[in-house]
Structure 1
Amino acid sequence: MTSGSATWVGAAACLLACGCTALAGLDRPYHLEADGGAGGGGGGGGGAGGQDCAEEASAGCVYDRCGAVPESAPSGVYALDPDGPGPQEQIEVYCGEPVDGDRWALVYNSVGSTDGATLPFWKILYADRLAAKGTPSLDDNHYQPSLYIAGREYRDEIEDIAGTVAEVMRATAEGIDTGDMHLLTPIRVGGDDHLFSWQFATGWSSPDFDSDTKDDGNCAGAYAGVTQHYGHCFVYNLGADDDDPIEDEGWGPHVSTPDATSYGLSDDGSGYTRVQRISRWTRW
C-alpha cells in the first residue's frame, strides 16, 4: 500500500468488483488507514457539504443501511453504500417504514398485473443474476440482488388482492455464493418452515441455470421460465401459477392456496391464488 493511500475492504466490494464469494461472517466493512490502523465501518452516512444526515435526510445523503435513514424520513428510495467509501458504486434502494424499530431494504418485489407484465420481468438469465432490474418501489416489479451480499436478516411479506399484508417468513444468512446463488448458512427465525426451505434455503434456478433441489429438473424451466430461489416448486411464485393456470392474463405472483389461507390471505378459487405482491426485505 502506497503512502497516504487507504484501502476499503468489504464483502459487497469484493463480490461486485472481483466476482468472488461472500465470506461468512464478514458483515461489516473495515478501513485500513495508511498507518495500518483499522476503523469501524460507520453507522450512519454522511452527506454532501458536511450535512448531518443522521438527523435529516436530503438529496445529498448516502447511508450504509436503511436503518441509518432518520426516523422522521418517509419510506422511499435512498442512496446506500453498504461497504462504505471505496470501489463499490452507490445503489438506489427502497427503504420501508420501520419494522421492529428498524428500516428494511427491499430485495425484490413481484407485483400482479392484468397485462401480463410480471411474468417476463422474472425471466432473469444466469448472466444477469446480480444485475438490478425495475424500479425500487412497492408498486413496481423490482430486483436488487446486490442486497443479498450485504443482507444478514430477511423477511418475506405477501399482500393479497384485498390488501391484507402478512409476514410469512423470517430468516438469517451470512451472505450469498454468487456462483450458484445459494445463501450461506441459512437459518429460519420465524414463519413457515416449508416456505423457508423451498423459497430461501434451497437452490436458485433460472431458465438457463439449475441449482434448485427438485429431483426432476429446473423449476424455472418447468414453470414459465421464472427465476427465483426454488425448492420443490413452490409455495409461492414470483411470475407464474402452477401447471394448470387459471385464465388470468399472466397476472404474475401466486401463492399455493392452502398456504395463502393459512396466512389469513384471500382465496381466488384456484389452486394457486393470485396475490397483489410478494416482497423480500433485508437488513444488516
Structure 2
Amino acid sequence: MLDDFLLRAALAGVGVALAAAPLGCFVIWRRMAYFGDATAHAALLGVALALSLDLPVFSGVLVVALAMAVIVAGLNGRNVSTDALLGVLAHGALAIGLVAVSLLPNQRVDLSAYLFGEILAVTRGDLAVIWGGAAISIGLLVWRWQALLSATLNPDLATASGLNPKREQLILTLALAVTVAFALKVVGALLIAAMLIIPAATARPFSRSPETMAITAAVIGMISTLGGLAASFAFDTPTGPSMVCVAAVLFATSTGMAAIFRR
C-alpha cells in the first residue's frame, strides 16, 4: 500500500494535521502566533546544522527549535519587547539558515523543498518520523491537557492549585518544537505556522469548549491537507501552498458564516 506516493503524502499530511491543529489552539489562546512563526523560520538553520554534521534533518531542526525556545525564555523582558525579540530571532535565524545552507561544501540543496515542503517525496522512513513525532506531540497534549488549560486561562489560579505555569509553558514549547521538526517535510519552514494557526482559528467560532475546538481544528486540518493534495494533483500546483490555500478558504467561509449567524 505504501508504494503509492499519493497515499504516503496523504498519510503524512494527516499526521501533521492531527498534531499541529490542536497545538495551534494553545498557540491562539496564549497569543503565541509570532512565537510559532519564529520557531518555524528557525527550522532552516536546523537544516543547515543537520547537513553540515551529517545528521538527520529532524534532529537538527528539533535542536534549533528547542534552542529558540530557551533563548526567548531567557531574554524575554530584558529591555526588549517580546514582539521585537521574536522578530529579530525569526528573521535572523531564517537569514542565517539561508546563508549557511548556501555555504555548505559539496552540498547542492534544493531550498524550495525546505521552504515550502516536499510532501509528494515522503518516504516510508519519513512517515515513521512524522507519525512518531505526532504521537509525541499529541501524547504531551493529552497528558498535560488540564494543566495546560489551567495555566493558559488563569496562571495565578493554576499556581494556587499547585501547578507550575512555567513548566507547562516548557511542555507546550517542547510539543511545538517537535511539531515544527516533523512538519518541515510536509509544508516547509515558511508555511508551518499557517497549519498551526489557520485550522484552530477556523474552528474557534463554532466551538463551545476547548476540547471541541481542538477536535474541530484537527478535522479542519485534515480536510485542508487532503483538499490541498487533491487540488495540487488536479491543477498541478505546489502541494504545501495548496494546503494552506484550502485552509485559508475554510477560514474565510467560517468567518463569514459566523458573522451571518450573529446577525
TM bin, normalised by shorter chain, reads under 0.3
Task: Give the number of the structure whose residues are more often strand, by fraction.
Answer: 1
Give the number of the structure with larger relative contact order, counting CA–CA contacts within 8 Å between residues 6 or more apart.
Answer: 2
* Greater radius of gyration (CA): 1
Task: Give the number of the structure whose residues are more often helix, by fraction.
Answer: 2
